Structure 1
Amino acid sequence: MPYQTTSPAAGRLTAAQGTALYVGAVLGTGVIALPALAAEIAGPASLLAWLALVVLSAPLAAAFAALGARHPDAGGVSTYARLAFGERTAAVAGWCFYLAIPLGATAAALFGGSYVAAALGGGTTTTVVTAAALMAVVTAVNAMGLRLTGRLQFVLFGLLLVLLTVSVLLSLPHARGENLQPFAPHGWSAVGPAAALLVFSFAGWEAVAHLAGEFRRPARDLPRATAAAVVIVGVLYLAAAFAVVAVLGDTAARSSAPLGDLIALALGGGARPLAAVAAVLLTFGTMNTYYAGAAKLGAALGRDGALPRWFARGSTAGETPRRSLFFVSALALLTLALVAATGLGARPAVMLSAASFAVVYAIGVAAAIRILPRRSAGRWSAWAALVAVLLLLVFSGPYLLWPLLVTGAALLSVRARRTAARTRTRFWRRSPAAAPDS
């Protein structure tokens, strides 16, 4: 997912600091709700889906780390796609990422709102109102040009770590072996769709590529930061997912606030407001990175011609890309309204967003195969990651329709821009007096 980071001056980032930034980019609000959604799809076998995503993280992160070390650029996957395959593929990667953000932001806001509803009551109404309020506040903060400092971002992600740790450790004594039986109540084939859903929680592995130029010793520290982040994220996610399934049992699939349920079980129902406050704060932090990063991405795409030039205002350093920001915010609010009107819940938004992320990852690792040196570790990692990502695309099933529609729109946009450029060129050739001054 797009994100913002505030890091030390260029060339001063250590392996430990890089690990913290990397973990912060990957960990998000998905973990406060997705263990329950995955359990609804696959039951206890959803733990295999979590494990599969953790295993996939290793070659995926290694491939992006290799790309970042060799081609350090803030453009991320879109830049790699342009280097490997040209303008069309770069536009597809940029559009898929950009238009996945309103969906992801809606899901994150609903996850935070569900914890407030679990603590205060009010059901769906409380959840949707809280989600809308979060969207409005985050939009206003970004429109005014305000940014969360790096320290505050770390505090918010630290809050998530504390919430996970406390929830898991205090609830594990209540785990029961019978809650793991039957292990695959919906069949083994359900593990694949559960893994496709969980891509939402693992979006962010490309983050280190943007930071490659800021490491003190990239050749040594970048692989260390990558390896440490994979281990930390994997342990946290697996521990949280196991606790939800083993402690809550059948009720996990019906829980809208699983970590809150774990804390309430360990400390009593009076702890739910504490879980709600923590969920809202970390949701705000995550959504801030969504909106700020997406706004800048949209402005950059407008500047580069992948989106209409109208989006380009605010693309230079220090400017606030309000047009792109309000576009993302409007799409997110529209998505929230559709969710509220249909009663479908957050799951479709998660799946559509995850399918888009899977497409972006497929493009990224394909670019790595194309531009990384032959027989390099990064290239072999990219091959392994590509096979796994293609499987995730298959498991995404009908939810691939959204990134396919976005791909078509991106390609039409590139074609229209090229046609307009050729038309202008022919006009200038026929009417030299009308040509712009050189």
Structure 2
Amino acid sequence: MSQELKKEITLLGGVGQLSTTLLGTGLFMIPAIAANLAGVWSLWAWFILLLAICPIALTFALLGRQFPNAGGTAYFVRKAFNSKVERSVAWLFLSVLPVGLPAALTLAGGFGKELLPAFMAHQYIAEIISLLLILGLTLLGSKSSSQFQALIAFSILALVGVFFWKGDIGWQDIPMPNLNASAALPLGSALAVMFWCFVGIEAFSHMGEEFKNPQRDFPIAIILGCFLAGFIYWACSVVILKFHAFEPNVAAHSSIPWLSERLLGNGLSMLITVIGYFACFASINLYTQSMIRLVWAQAREYRPTNRLAALSKRGVPSWATYAVATVLFLSISIGHIIQLDLEVLVKLANSVFVLLYLLAMLSAYRLLKGWAKYLAGFSTLLCVIVFACLGWSMLYALVIFGLLMLPWKRVITPPTARSSSH
């Protein structure tokens, strides 16, 4: 059986996958939080954030074009350093699986339960159904998944466009005040929250091997996906600021439903719920698929005869899919039993993501040449600044990575076994 994933992702599908991943749950919460923290300055904050993320995104694009592989950041690290660091990075990324994805599924389940019949409208049931949908979509292949997410991206863009139309947004409604020293504190507070809207590029790097033309389309998909997501966030913020759809007037998570009811009427509330659910679903879908491909890539490299390295007739890593789905099911179930604090789990998961960005940029600095090397160096500096801003939660990622880097093989292997191997 072939050990190569099918190359089915087009440029449009790639843009759809990344943009919906970056939007995810953020669109339904972050613009309102940013407006509360920075007011009209938040419009400038989106431009600043996009300028800051562009070097990182472009560095990922250059890495993906030169080294397209389902291993993503772990593969880049192996090329730059060694297989020991690669395996540590792979397990570091997978450490998000039992904490970050269940938290995201909870957010999706909040929308999803509103779409279920009354006798099934329970948070846990909505989360399990979401997991089954991801499982089914994954087993259909990456082409179906990318096309589906492109449709979601178009729906979100259309929704914001309707808000502009119904809200009668004109140039006079787009306040862009002059930047000065008094803007520093509110901008900094907003940017600290808004950065998470662009966490997702490292997950998308796992999809590079499945592009029809990775050298051409993968870097373009990353850049266009980031700009599309950034534009939608900015446009949504314009509408939220005009109608003051942020605290203390409106709770952050209710800003989009509130705007929908005011501008479109109650009749479309179900449509907003559907779009909200699938926006969350799209983000979870790509992260799940990236983890499946990482498990498969590691098995292909180090345990090629293991079932996890096998592909189905559709070219899908089916056994890796079942393994990831099982861990997610157990994590969701345990989380409901012991009532885990999801907000804390999300913060811990985010620290892993930023550390992964940092390690990817360090790898790029060693692998790329010419102007790209300087770009990677600047991106590394940006990641260090962001990581330092995380505060106590960055210790979670550092402790896990430090433990993974310990020479466990030497500790576990008996001295007689080690001596006989020489």
**TM-aligned CA deviation for residue 189 of structure 1:** 4.0
Q: How does 1:325-336 map to 2 (within 5 A)?
A: 325-335=325-335
Which residue in 1 is equivalent to 2:57? 61
Query: Is the aligned partner of 1:75 residue 2:71?
Result: yes
**How far apart, CA to CA, are the structure 1 residues paired with 2:193 and 2:299?**
30
Any conservation in 1 of the 2:34–2:42 contact (CA below 8 Å)?
yes
Name the aligned partner's letter for residue 365 of structure 1.
Answer: M
**How far apart, CA to CA, are the structure 2 residues paired with 1:35 and 1:327?**
32
Structure 1 residues 87-113: Cα deviation after superposition (integer angstroms, max 9, x where no partner): 343234323322224444344334334
Any conservation in 2 of the 1:291–1:328 contact (CA below 8 Å)?
no
* Unmatched runs of 5 consecutive residues or more in structure 1: 431-438
Percent identical residues: 21
Query: Is the aligned partner of 1:234 residue 2:233?
Result: no
**How far apart, CA to CA, are the structure 1 residues paired with 2:308 and 2:183?**
50
Query: Is the aligned partner of 1:89 residue 2:81?
Result: no
**How far apart, CA to CA, are the structure 2 residues paired with 1:263 and 1:191?**
27
Any conservation in 2 of the 1:32–1:257 contact (CA below 8 Å)?
yes
Of residues 127, 130, 147, the one that matches 1:138 is 130
Any conservation in 1 of the 2:295–2:308 contact (CA below 8 Å)?
no
Of residues 258, 276, 283, the one that matches 1:261 is 258
Question: Please, what is the CA RMSD of the aligned residues?
Answer: 4.1
**TM-aligned CA deviation for residue 73 of structure 1:** 1.6
Alignment coverage as a number of residue pairs: 400
Specify whether residues 115 and 216 from structure 1 end up closer, same or farther in structure 2 by C-alpha distance, changes over 3 A only.
closer
Which residue in 1 is equivalent to 2:273? 276
Which residue in 2 is equivalent to 1:395? 389
**TM-aligned CA deviation for residue 359 of structure 1:** 0.8
Name the aligned partner's letter for residue 280 of structure 1.
Answer: Y
Specify whether residues 428 and 223 from structure 1 end up closer, same or farther in structure 2 by C-alpha distance, changes over 3 A only.
closer
Of residues 287, 304, 309, the one that matches 1:315 is 309
Which residue in 2 is equivalent to 1:363? 359
Secondary structure of residue in 2 paired with 1:314: helix
- When normalised by structure 1's length, the TM-score is 0.75
Of 77-86 and 316-325, more deviation after overlay is shown by 316-325
Query: Is the aligned partner of 1:29 residue 2:18?
Result: no
**How far apart, CA to CA, are the structure 2 residues paired with 1:300 and 1:178?**
47
Which residue in 1 is equivalent to 2:408? 416
Of residues 351, 363, 380, the one that matches 1:386 is 380
Structure 1 residues 11-43: Cα deviation after superposition (integer angstroms, max 9, x where no partner): xx4x55554444345442322222234445555
**TM-aligned CA deviation for residue 188 of structure 1:** 4.2
Of 226-235 and 71-80, more deviation after overlay is shown by 226-235
**TM-aligned CA deviation for residue 364 of structure 1:** 0.4
Any conservation in 1 of the 2:15–2:224 contact (CA below 8 Å)?
yes
Of residues 189, 194, 198, the one that matches 1:198 is 194
**How far apart, CA to CA, are the structure 1 residues paired with 2:170 and 2:264?**
12
Which residue in 2 is equivalent to 1:434? none
* Unmatched runs of 5 consecutive residues or more in structure 2: 313-317
Specify whether residues 194 and 315 from structure 1 end up closer, same or farther in structure 2 by C-alpha distance, changes over 3 A only.
farther
- When normalised by structure 2's length, the TM-score is 0.78
**How far apart, CA to CA, are the structure 1 residues paired with 2:190 and 2:92?**
21
**How far apart, CA to CA, are the structure 1 residues paired with 2:330 and 2:364?**
34
Of residues 285, 290, 311, the one that matches 1:288 is 285
Secondary structure of residue in 1 paired with 2:309: coil
Of residues 330, 347, 351, the one that matches 1:351 is 347
Any conservation in 2 of the 1:36–1:244 contact (CA below 8 Å)?
yes
Name the aligned partner's letter for residue 319 of structure 2.
Answer: T
Structure 1 residues 192-247: Cα deviation after superposition (integer angstroms, max 9, x where no partner): 454343333212324257426745482x5555444433332221121123323442
Name the aligned partner's letter for residue 268 of structure 2.
Answer: A
**TM-aligned CA deviation for residue 114 of structure 1:** 4.5
**How far apart, CA to CA, are the structure 2 residues paired with 1:396 and 1:22?**
24
**TM-aligned CA deviation for residue 369 of structure 1:** 0.4
**TM-aligned CA deviation for residue 251 of structure 1:** 3.9
